[in-house]
Structures are given as structure tokens and as C-alpha cells.
Amino acid sequence: MNRGISFSGTPSEEELEKSPGYPPEEIQRKKKVVIIECIQEIPCNPCEEACKFGAISVGKPITNLPQVDFEKCIGCGQCIAKCPGLAIYLLDYNYNEDDAAISFPYEYYPFPNEGETVNAVDRKGNFVSKGKVIKVSNPKVNECTAVITITFPKQYYKEIRSIERIRGEKNV
């Protein structure tokens, strides 16, 4: 059992559900939406400014947890690369009939290629299922935090958060 992030290094389900940046299940399944897995009160607020739609607020003190107004979130994903904690994801549960898509920050070289089949992993880095890379985005404004989008069988939407690190030479 996961006793919580201070013990396991990964947030527990309970911690996530209590967190104001984590969308309730019905919203996750309804629309393309941001998932902020920031559950400790640390002094940090770049996500607030990253959202041009005013959907994310931290306020004062700066140690408040980011709060998301899920009505205002349009699922643009601009906040993903702005989080120094790499704790923001974008979930598109209804990508198609079988697959969901998730966008996540990625800071390892080499990057996967678009179209490539990769090993999708959960928060603990354990293999969950195969996934397909549909987008690798690394514009200058991201300051070297690439955002990768993969698709995977939708049943794993609550687990899959990243991919296995690809070992090899830098490809960019």
C-alpha cells in the first residue's frame, strides 16, 4: 500500500483525490484536462502564470497548492513544461474509441520519435502497456523540457504517466 509521497516517492490515490489540482474522475473522463499532481505545500507558482485562461491559481502564500478551475481549463497543455517539479500532465481520455492520450514532461535524451511504439510506465516506473508516441514538442519557450504525447489503451488512464527512458545517443 502507498503510505504517501514522503514514504514512497509517489502520491497515493488518497493524496491525489484530496489535491485541488487533480480533476475528479468524471471530469477526467469527460474532457481533455490538466492533471496537477502537486500535493505538498512547497513555495512555487510558475503554473499560475503559465495558464493564460486563469484556470490555475496559487495565490498567497506561495506555498498554497495549485487549484484548478476545471471549467476554465481548455486542455491546451501550456502549463506542462512550466512546472519545475514536472508534476503536470494533460489527459485526453476520449482520444478515440479505444485509446486515451497523455502528454507529459520529458527531460532525457534521446527523445522518442513520433510514431514510435514505447513502453508506457506508471508513477513508479513500472511497465503498464505499450504506447504510441503521437507528438514530441520542444519549442524554445519550454526551456528544454520537452512535452511528449502518447496514446495507450484507455483502461490505464489513471496509471500511465511516462515512458521508459530510452538509452542511447542524443538524437537532437
Partner 1 sequence: MKEVELAVIGAGPAGLSGAIESAKKGVNVVVFDENKRPGGQLFKQIHKFFGSKEHMAGIRGFKIGEMLLEEANKLGIPVYLDSPVIGINKDKVVAYVRDEKIQYIVTKKILVATGAMENVIQFPGWTLPGVMGAGAVQTMINIERVLPGKRILMVGTGNVGLIVSYQLMQAGAEVIALVEAKPEIGGYGVHASKIKRANVPIYLKHTIAQAEGKNFVEKAVIAEVDNNFKIISGTEKELKVDLICLAVGLSPLIELINLLDCKQIYVSELGGWIPLHDENMETACKGVYVAGDVSGVEEASSALDKGRIAGIAIAESLQHIPIEAASREIDGIRTRLNELRCGPFGEVSLQGNNKIYQAMRRWENEQGN
User: Cell numbers 520519435 label which residue?
Assistant: 113
Return the range that interacts with partner 1 (CB under 8 A); candidates 24-32, 95-103, 137-145, 151-159: 137-145
**Beta carbons of 166 and 113 less than 8 angstroms apart:** no
CB under 8 A: which stretch of 1-9, 20-28, 91-99, 148-156 binds partner 1? 1-9
Considering only 31-39, 89-97, 130-138, 149-157, which stretch makes contact with partner 1 by CB under 8 A?
31-39
Nearer to partner 1, 39 or 73 (CB): 39
- The residue (of 40 and 137) whose beta carbon lies closer to partner 1 is 40
Q: Which helix (H) or strand (E) holds 45?
A: none
> Cβ distance 104 to 152 under 8 Å?
no
- Looking at the Cβ atoms of 61 and 115, the one nearer to partner 1 is 61
User: CB 92 → partner 1: shortest distance, Å?
Assistant: 20
Does 56 help bind partner 1 (rule: CB under 8 A)?
no
Q: Is 126 in the site for partner 1 (CB under 8 A)?
A: yes
d(CA 74, CA 85): 22
Question: How far apart are the C-alpha atoms of 27 and 19, rounded to whole Å?
Answer: 14
Asked if 42 and 19 touch (Cβ cutoff 8 Å), the reply is no
Is there a contact between 162 and 144 (Cβ–Cβ < 8 Å)? no
Residue selected from 30, 107, 114, 130 as contacting partner 1 according to rule CB under 8 A: 107
Residues in contact with 51: Cβ distance below 8 Å, sequence separation at least 6, in sequence order:
73, 78, 79
Chain residues in the site for partner 1 (CB under 8 A): 5-11, 37-46, 49, 60-63, 82, 84-87, 107-109, 121, 123-126, 143-145, 161-162, 164-165, 167
